[in-house]
Structure 1
C-alpha cells in the first residue's frame, strides 16, 4: 500500500509530481512486480523480424525471465513460442540456428513443426511405440505467445491479456502513417546493428531517450546544428519523445541515402524520436530509421540492441558504415548518464526527483504510464 501511495505522487501534474522512487530501479521484488504488470502484461518489444530473415531461422531469447523462441515458419510467418518442450520443460533451442526439419527437443526427442505442432514422440508408449492414447498431440503443441510486427519490431504480449496491438498503439501508428509500407515502401534492414550492455535499469534508458533537455551537455555535436530550441516535445497515449525541425545527414561529402517515397514536405527537414512504451526506442527520418530494443536483465542491467533501416538496399555501403558509426557514437554518449542515474538510486535521500514543467513532459508521461500500469 505504501508503494501505491508513493506512486500516486508520480501521477500528479508535472509541476508537483515526484519521479518513480528508488525501489523501481534497484529492488528485485519491485522489478518482479513491474515485469508481471508491464513487461509481461503489455505489448513489449522482443526483437526485429530481420533477425530471422528466411524460413526455418530461429533465435532463442530470454525476455524478463521468460525463455522464448523467435522463428520464421515454413510459410514465412514470424512466430514467437515459449522455448520449452511440453514433455519435461527442457529448453528446445539454445543458440541461433536454421531449423531444417522439425524443432527437436535434445532431451527425449519430442519434435515440433515450425508452426508449433507436436509431430513426433519417439518411444512415448514404450520402446518402439511412438504414440500413446493418453498423450494427445493436438493439445501439446508449443505455447505460442501473441505477437505483432510494426516497423519490423516484433512485439509480444506474454500473458496474453493486452488489447490488440493496433488498438493500444493507434496514436503512434497514426503519427507515422506516412512511413507505412503501402505509402513509403518497405524498411530495408541492411544487417548493420550493434549492442550496448549497460549497467542501468531499463526505464532509465527510456527516460533519457525521450527528452531533448540534455542535448547541449551530453550531445554537443548534435546540438551544434540541431539546437535545443529546434526541438519539440511529443506526448501521447502509450508513447512520448522528441522531434527536431532541423534534420540533415551529418556525413561529409555529397553522397546521400535515397529518401522514403510519398512523404509530405514536413519531413524534408524534420525527424522524430519516440519511446514506444514500455521498452522500444524508435527514430525516423526521411532517409533512414532505427529501432532500439531494450532487453532488461534484472533491476540493474539492460542490453540495448540497435538496428538501422533504409528505404532501399541501393546505396554506398561505406556511407552506411559511417552512418552506423555516427549513431553508435551518439548513443555511447548516453551511457555515462544512464549508468550515473542508476548509481544515484542508491542514495536513500533521493525521492524520485522532480520534473522541469517546461522540459520534462515526455519523461513525466512515461513515469505516469508506469505508475498507472502498476495500479496507481
Structure 2
C-alpha cells in the first residue's frame, strides 16, 4: 500500500498513540482522528470526559435556594439545583417514571421539581415526594412502588472556584485527591470570590474540537504573533511552563500588570497573598475541560462545552475579591478588565479554528512539539492518550 493512502481511522489511531506517549523531545501530537472522526469523539466522551472531573456550569448561575439550571452535557440531560441548605446538587434531568425531561429552561422552583407529564414531584434534594394516581384514580401510592428507590439519579459532583465539576461514570478519585497538587499550589486563593456581574460573563462560539482550545491555552509560545498587545508588556521570555503529569498544565507570567485608572484607582487584592503575586499570574488547564487563571486582584474560569466534534462554546466568567455592589466606584475598571480579556480570548479564535481546518489534511501526522516551549501542550496530549488507553483496557 502506498504510504500516503489513508488507513482505517481506528487502526491508525491505535498505532499512533504510542508516538504520543513518549517524551516531548520525541513525541508527535494526537492524530487527526481525535479532531475529526465521530468514532474517536464518542470514545473520548466516555474515556476522557465522563471518566474524569469535567466542568459543566457555575454556581453563580443558581445563586439562591430553588434555583435550577438544565445542562446538556454531550447529549446527556443534567440539572443543577441549589437546595434549601444552599448546597448544589446535580441530577439527571429525567423523570424516573417515563423518562420525561423535567426542566427545560433555567427556573426558580418554588415547591418541588414537577414532571410535566404525569406530575411526579421531587424535592430539591432529588427525593421522590408524590406520585399522583399511581394506584388508580385518587390513589397516590401503590404497595409495589417504593418512593425511596425512585429519587432522581444523582450525578457525582464537586464545586471548586465556583465551577461545578461532575464525574459521570463515578470512577475518578475524589476531587480533592485528583487535584490536591493544584489546590495546594493555589492555596493562597482559597478564599471567597465574587462574580463581577453581567459584564463579567461572556461566551465565545468557536468552530473547533474542544481539545484545541485547551492546547492553545496551555502555552505561551504563540504570544508574540497572536497577542501583540499582551506581549508588549508580558513578553514571551517573561513566561514559564507549568506541568503536573496526569493532572494539569499551563503557563505563568512574572510581569502581571495590574489595571490602574488615570486617577490611580485599582481593583482590591485578595487577602494575604505572598510577594509572588505582586507581579505574578498563572493560567492552568485543569484536565479535561476547565481553564483557570489567577491574578492578585481577580480570577477567571472558563468551561469548554464540547457541543460536537468540531464546535465548542467557551463559557467565561470573571471573579473579584469583593462584591461589585460593595465598590460601585470601580465598575469602570471591572468593565475595562472584562473588555481586555475578551479581546485576548477572541484573538485566539482564528488559531483554534485554523488548526481544526488543518486537521482535515490527511497527511498531517500529529505534528512535532518544541521541547522547550510545548511541554504543557504535550502534557495534555499525553494525558488524553493515557485516558483512551485506560478506557480500552477497561
Give the TM-score category using the shorter length: over 0.9
User: Separation in 1 of the partners of 2:17 and 2:175?
Assistant: 26
Query: After the TM superposition, which residues 1-376 of structure 1 pair with which residues of structure 2 at under 5 Å, given as runs?
Result: 2-181=12-191, 186-191=192-197, 192-237=200-245, 238-250=247-259, 252-253=261-262, 254-313=264-323, 314-315=326-327, 316-375=330-389
Q: What is the TM-score when the length of structure 2 is the normalising length?
A: 0.93
**Contact 2:30–2:366 (8 Å) recurs in 1:** yes
Q: Which runs of 5+ in 2 are unaligned?
A: 1-10
Give me the whole-angstrom Cα distance separating, in 2, the residues matched to 1:153 and 1:331: 19
Deviation by residue 1:259-278 (Cα, 9 ceiling, x = unmatched): 00111111100000000000
**Aligned-partner Cα distance in 2 for 1:2–1:231:** 36
Structure 1 distance, partners of 2:317, 2:95, is 31
Partners of 2:259 and 2:267 within 8 A in 1: no
Equivalent residues of 1:37, 1:374 under 8 A apart: yes
Residues 334-354 of structure 1 deviation map (CA, whole Å, 9 limit, x = unaligned): 000000000111110111111
Per-residue deviation, residues 288-346 of structure 1 (Å, max 9, x unmatched): 00000101011111011000000002331121111111111110000000000001111
1:8 shift after superposition: 1.0
Q: CA RMSD in A?
A: 1.0
Q: Deviations over 1:67-124 (max 9, x none)?
A: 1001101111011000000011111000000000000011111100000000011111
Aligned residues: 372
Residues 39 and 64 of structure 1 are in contact (CA less than 8 Å); yes or no, is this contact kept in structure 2? Answer: no
> CA shift at 1:249, angstroms?
2.6
Return the TM-score normalized by structure 1: 0.97
User: Is residue 156–residue 168 contact of structure 2 (8 Å, CA) maintained in 1?
Assistant: yes
Contact 1:292 1:307 (C-alpha < 8 Å) held by counterparts: yes
Structure 1 contact 69–83 (Cα < 8 Å) conserved: yes
Residues 251, 322 of structure 1: 8 Å contact kept: no
Instruction: Verify the 8 A CA contact 2:218 2:285 in the aligned structure 1.
Output: yes
Report the Cα distance in structure 1 between the residues aligned to 2:217 and 2:372, rounded to whole angstroms.
17
C-alpha displacement of 1:252: 4.4
Q: Is the 8 A contact 2:261 2:333 kept in 1?
A: no
| 1:7 match: secondary structure | helix
Q: Helix, strand or coil: the match of 1:309?
A: strand
Post-superposition shift, 1:65?
Answer: 1.7
Q: 52-61 or 307-316: which moved more?
A: 307-316
Secondary structure of the corresponding residue to residue 86 of structure 2? coil
Equivalent residues of 2:259, 2:266 under 8 A apart: no
The Cα of 1:2 is off from its aligned counterpart by 4.4
